[in-house]
Amino acid sequence: MTRRFCAGLAALAMLSACTVVPTPRAPQHRPPVHHPVRPEPPRPPVAAPPTAEAKPATAVESGVQPGPAFASFAINADAARAALAAFRLSCPGLQRRTDQSGLTRSGDWSQACMQATGWPDRDAAAFFANQLAVVRIGDGRAYATGYYEPEIAGSRTRAPGYDVPVYKRPPDLVEGDLGDFFPEMKGKKIRGKVQGGKLLPYPDRGQIEDGALSGRALEIGYAADPVEFFFLQVQGSGRLRLPDGSVMRIGYDGQNGREYVGIGKLMRDRGLLGPGQLSMQGVMAWLRANPAEGDAIMRENKSWIFFRELTGAGPLGAMNVAVTGRVTVAADPAFVPLGAPVVLQLDRPEANGLWVAQDTGGAIKGANRFDTFWGAGEQARTIAGGMSGRGQAWLLIPRAAAARLAEQRDSAARS
């Protein structure tokens, strides 16, 4: 479900800044003035400007510290059962995937996953306490937003009132891992199209809305409301409520490779949103009240999401398993192994407790940055739309991995 307005919309994404260097004016012509020449005093040496400190790129680079006993979190039995069920679903991918965070190695999860298979649900909390170790990544300071599975009006075919195309992944959209060329960029993706032997950028949101993909039979459906569909794209998956009352579930099937811009922060910084409007609901209300300006602002988010029709239970996350409301959390795989349990202790009580990292998000980057999934429906929409929590995060990893990391940390301290 890679996407998201992430974000209570509170994640209300990031800005970049640039510096303009003024062009010096040409000096005006004046008669020369002659002054006595004095020897210049010696100038003190000029200190070189400090170099920007590189941010940690992985969990291991951020530093890993032991955490408190799992029992100290007082996770209730229902939450532990739900998390154990999600962990079981994640185990095949958890054991198969290469851990980009550097925390675990192949085989580290085998014991825990084997135990999870037959572990009694009634004693789920004991599984996490006995099989996994609690660690802190960096300073552990967490920021969490929310997402949900939206349901909007739609149709399988174009009809009056349904004219916003929902495109499937185009066959000419190609994706590459820059790590195949530069090892230090492993995990960084580039997307585009090959034309004339060159990899070129794929059309952006504005170009696609202006018809760059029309006439190619890529439409799998049509939405009724462009604003609702924009936010469904940000979420990364959702449901189309069809005219006959049935539901068509659609899920993420690729992205055009163009820059994601969180329009909420953009609108706030321009003074378009006042107090009480910094939620998804407030942003949507402004866009509808100002359709021309709203369309231009939405186009500033150049990212476009492609979809496929889903069958089966629940929307799929980045691990290709169904995500679960109030259980699944999206995280950055460079800092959290996908499938690993996470404990959040935030200033938003509804988000506190045990989660399982089963998803990713375009705006979910860095250590201790999370996006909590709340399911579908109006309540989920309300909670996700206003979610913005800060506090502490803890990660659960196999005990063998935690012991190995502790040994490496101690060895580095001695050297």
Q: For residues 399 and 123, give the distance between their C-alpha atoms in angstroms, rounded to a whole number.
A: 19
Cα–Cα distance for residue pair 362/236, rounded to 1 Å:
10
pLDDT 10s digits, 100-132:
999 999 899 999 999 999 999 999 999 999 999
pLDDT tens for 49-70 read 544 567 899 999 999 999 999 9
- Give pTM, 2 decimals: 0.74
pLDDT band of 414, cuts 50, 70, 90: confident
- How does residue 413 score in pLDDT terms, banded at 50, 70 and 90? confident
106 vs 284: which has the higher pLDDT: 284
- For every residue of 85-118, which 3-state class applies, written as one string? HHHHHHHHHHHHCCCCCCCCCCCCCHHHHHHHHH
Cβ atoms < 10 Å from Cβ of 403 = 11
Domain map (residue ranges) of the chain: 59-146+322-414, 150-309
Q: What is the mean pLDDT of residues 128-150?
A: 97
Report pLDDT for 344. Answer: 99
Lowest-pLDDT range of 35-39, 103-107, 171-175, 380-384: 35-39
Given pLDDT bands bounded at 50, 70 and 90, which one contains residue 15? Answer: very low
Residue 45 in this model has a pLDDT that exceeds 80? no
**Cis peptide before 4, with omega less than 30 degrees from 0?**
yes
Q: How does the average pLDDT of the chain come out, rounded?
A: 88
- pLDDT on residue 11: 38
The answer to which of 172-181, 182-191, 302-311, 395-404 has the lowest mean pLDDT is: 182-191
Domain 59-146+322-414 carries which CATH code?
Answer: 2.40.40.10
pLDDT at 258 over 70: yes
- Which of these CATH numbers, 2.60.40.1170, 2.40.240.50, 2.40.37.10, 3.40.309.10, describes 150-309? 2.40.240.50
Range in 122-131, 166-175, 274-283, 317-326 the model is least confident about = 274-283
pLDDT of residue 277: 81
Residue 341 in tokens: 């349990």
